[in-house]
Amino acid sequence: MLAKFINQSHPGTNVTTIALYDYIASMKPLWQQVESFREAIRPIMKSAGDGVHLICFSQGGLICRGVLATLPTHNVHSLIFLSSPIAGQYGDSNYLKYFFPKFLKSRLYYFCYTTHGQKISICNYWNDPHQRERYLKSSNYLAPLNGEIEHANLTAWRDSFLRIETLVLIGGPDDGVITPWESSIFGFYDSNETVVEMEKQDWYLRDAFGLKTLNSKGAVVKCVVPGVHHTSWHSNLTVYQNCIDKWLT
Q: Which one from 53, 121, 184, 230 is the annotated catalytic residue?
A: 230
**Known catalytic membership, residue 116:** no
Q: Is 128 a residue of the active site?
A: no
Catalytic residue among 139, 175, 183, 234: 175
| Helices assigned H by DSSP within the chain | 2-9, 30-47, 59-69, 94-99, 109-112, 121-124, 132-138, 142-145, 154-161, 202-205, 211-216, 237-239
205: DSSP letter: H
* Long-range contacts at 236-239 (CB < 8 A, ≥ 24 apart): 237/5, 239/82, 239/170
**From 26, 53, 58, 139, active-site residue:** 58
* Dist. CA 59–CA 180, nearest whole Å: 14
Active site residue 175: yes
From first CA to last CA, the distance across the chain in angstroms is 19
DSSP result, 111-177? HHTSTTGGGSHHHHTB--TT-HHHHHHH-SSHHHHTT-S--TTHHHHHHHHTT-SEEEEEE-TT-SS
219-242 as b/e: b if 16+ CB within 10 A: bbbbbebeebebeebbebeebbee
Determine contact, residues 226/239, Cβ cutoff 8 Å.
no
Please list the active-site residues: 58, 175, 230
